[in-house]
């Protein structure tokens, strides 16, 4: 490996990077473990270059909050998959232990370049029994091998690897340097073809099935057994050509600029992706922010009609009160605007209330366990609503409306609610959408809302249907 300066960055030479890494290794307190190195890179786009992060492990992850944080990851250095109770607690423990044992070879790397544990939960807490083939575990937590991050114009490439001796550190340093040179020189886009998704809608008569569940849901809320219930519907598409989620996410970056685009790809045959407008929580330097997002209208509708809708305002306030109540029960002092705002995301408009509070010493995944699921995606009372969802929805939600995101080595975290999403398994693509029922909801309007959301997702994917 040449020690000559590279075009990677004028500020770093390979010899300097290796010298620093060996210096850290020689002064370590552990015999072996995960060694981490990071290298500054300029001009790279994690979304466009995720496909270049080759690794023997098929796992891929994307978190595209551009112009905020954008993060691509590939491969798994350490990972956790489990079902059963206490999943948020166990995922937090795994994150703390794994991140706490990393030997950092570039301690001056900024916040955007920190080591991160990537997280994907299922909506329901799965039992410890054998799960249906292809279903998502209750929680997946991954320390990636490769991590490419960018915030603004600044980017970093990070590598995690097992080191047991000095030769391993040298090998990891060389691998990082070679990958950085490769990313800088290739600048490739993973798919040159069309992002159009061609497929046939699988007959399932979802309208009839949903109407039956909808009628029962309205009985529950109008009879007072539930204050709110969010029933979801699933539309399946039989694909006629392979789906490239990165091409679709590139389009969503422009169509859903206010959302966070995400991808959780367990392998090439299993891709969960979407553009979430809803933040479950964001924890930065001890400051917590949550989003209450409930009440929906089409972008062509009059925005003032949503603000003036008694039904939508009441539905939205139930979500706000539930979130603030959970945070107050943990001794926090949540603050919220007096009235909701309008949030436009693509072709849909939502009522939105940001909720903030100082949260020093709070575990982000403990907070997530308290908040999930909010009434925006489940209902009230929570336990009773969850039981009814199990009974009335004829499919597994898997990752739909569940938390997805990351936690970093400083304890900062962000989790989104995985809505506006699709799940491709082989040649089948599942689209899922839901609508909130409260007292006074009208069946026809709720049916129109889920139909609108499914249509919006199909339009965003540029889905061409070959017939029913």
Which of these is catalytic: 250, 278, 393, 414?
278
Calculate the alpha carbon distances from 425 to 13, 62, 244, 376, 414 in Å: 43, 18, 12, 27, 26
Query: Three-state secondary structure along the chain?
Result: CCCCCCCCCCCCCHHHHHHHHHHHHHCCCCCCEEEEEEEEEECCCHHHHHHHCCCCCCCEEEEECCCCCEEEEEEEEEEEEECCCCHHHHHHHHHHHHHHCCEECCCCCCHHHCCEEEEEECCCCCCCCCCCCCCCCCEEEEEEEEEEEEECCEEEEEEEEEECCHHHHHHHHHHHHHHHHHHHHHCCCCCCCCCCEEEEECCCCHHHHHHHHHHHHHHHHHCCCCCEEEEEEEEEEEECCCCCHHHHHHHHHHHCCCCEEEEEEEECCEEEEEEECCEEEEEECCEEEEEEEEEEEECCCCHHHHHCCHHHHHHHHHHHHHHHHHHHHCCCCCECCCCCEEEEECCEEEEEEEEEEECCCCCHHHHHHHHCCCCCCCEECHHHHHHHHHHHCCCCCCCCCCEEEEEECCCCEEEEECCCEEEEECCEEEEEEEEEECCCCCHHHHHHHHHHHHHHHHHHCCEEECCC
C-alpha 389/C-alpha 269 separation (Å) is 28
Residue 403: strand pairing partners: 417
Which of these is catalytic: 42, 125, 207, 228?
228
Q: How many residues does the chain have?
A: 468
> Angle between the 382-392 and 206-222 helix axes, to the nearest 10 degrees?
150
228 catalytic, yes or no? yes
444 catalytic, yes or no? no
* Cβ within 8 Å of residue 321, ≥6 positions away: none
The tokens describing 115, both together, are 């080591």
Asked if 337 and 253 touch (Cβ cutoff 8 Å), the reply is no
Q: Which residues are annotated as catalytic?
A: 228, 278
């Amino acid at each position: 490996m040449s020690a000559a300066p590279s075009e990677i960055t004028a500020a770093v030479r390979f010899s300097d990077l290796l010298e620093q890494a060996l210096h850290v290794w020689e002064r370590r307190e552990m015999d072996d473990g995960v060694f981490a190195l990071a290298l500054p890179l300029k001009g790279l786009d994690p979304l466009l270059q995720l496909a270049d992060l080759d690794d023997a492990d098929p796992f891929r992850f994307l978190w595209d909050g551009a112009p905020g944080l954008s993060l691509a990851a590939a491969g798994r250095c350490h990972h956790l998959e489990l079902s059963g109770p206490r999943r948020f607690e166990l995922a937090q423990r795994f994150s703390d232990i794994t991140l706490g044992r990393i030997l950092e070879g570039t301690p001056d790397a900024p916040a955007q370049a920190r080591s991160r544990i990537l997280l994907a939960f299922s909506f329901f807490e799965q039992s410890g029994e054998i799960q249906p083939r292809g279903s998502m575990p209750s929680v997946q937590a991954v320390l990636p091998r490769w991590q490419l991050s960018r915030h603004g114009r600044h980017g970093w490439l990070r590598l995690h690897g097992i080191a047991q001796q000095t030769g391993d550190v040298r090998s990891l340093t060389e691998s990082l340097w070679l990958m950085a040179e490769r990313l800088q020189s290739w600048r490739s886009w993973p798919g040159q073809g069309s992002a159009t998704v061609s497929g046939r809608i699988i007959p399932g008569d979802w309208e009839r099935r949903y109407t039956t569940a909808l009628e029962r849901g309205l009985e529950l809320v109008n009879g007072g057994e539930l204050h709110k219930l969010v029933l979801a519907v699933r539309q399946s598409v039989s694909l006629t050509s392979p789906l490239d989620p990165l091409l679709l996410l590139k389009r969503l970056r422009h169509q859903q600029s206010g959302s966070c685009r995400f991808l959780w790809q367990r392998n090439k045959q299993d891709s969960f992706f979407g553009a979430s407008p809803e933040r479950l929580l964001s924890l930065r330097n001890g400051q917590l922010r949550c989003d209450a997002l409930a009440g929906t209208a089409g972008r062509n509708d009059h925005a003032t009609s949503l603000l003036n809708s008694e039904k939508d305002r009441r539905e939205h306030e139930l979500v706000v009160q539930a979130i603030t109540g959970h945070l107050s029960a943990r001794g926090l002092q949540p603050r919220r605007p007096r009235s909701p705002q309008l949030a436009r995301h693509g072709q849909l408009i939502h009522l939105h209330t940001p909720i903030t509070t100082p949260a020093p010493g709070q575990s982000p995944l403990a907070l997530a366990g308290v908040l999930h699921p909010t009434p925006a995606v489940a209902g009230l009372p929570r336990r009773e609503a969850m039981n009814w969802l199990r009974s009335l929805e004829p499919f597994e939600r898997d990752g739909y409306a569940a938390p997805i995101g990351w936690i970093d080595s400083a304890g900062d975290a962000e989790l989104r609610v995985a809505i506006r999403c699709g799940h491709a398994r082989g040649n089948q693509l599942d689209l899922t959408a839901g609508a909130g029922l409260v007292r006074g909801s009208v069946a026809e309007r709720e049916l129109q809302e889920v139909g609108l959301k499914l249509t919006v997702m199909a339009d965003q994917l540029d889905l061409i249907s070959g017939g029913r």
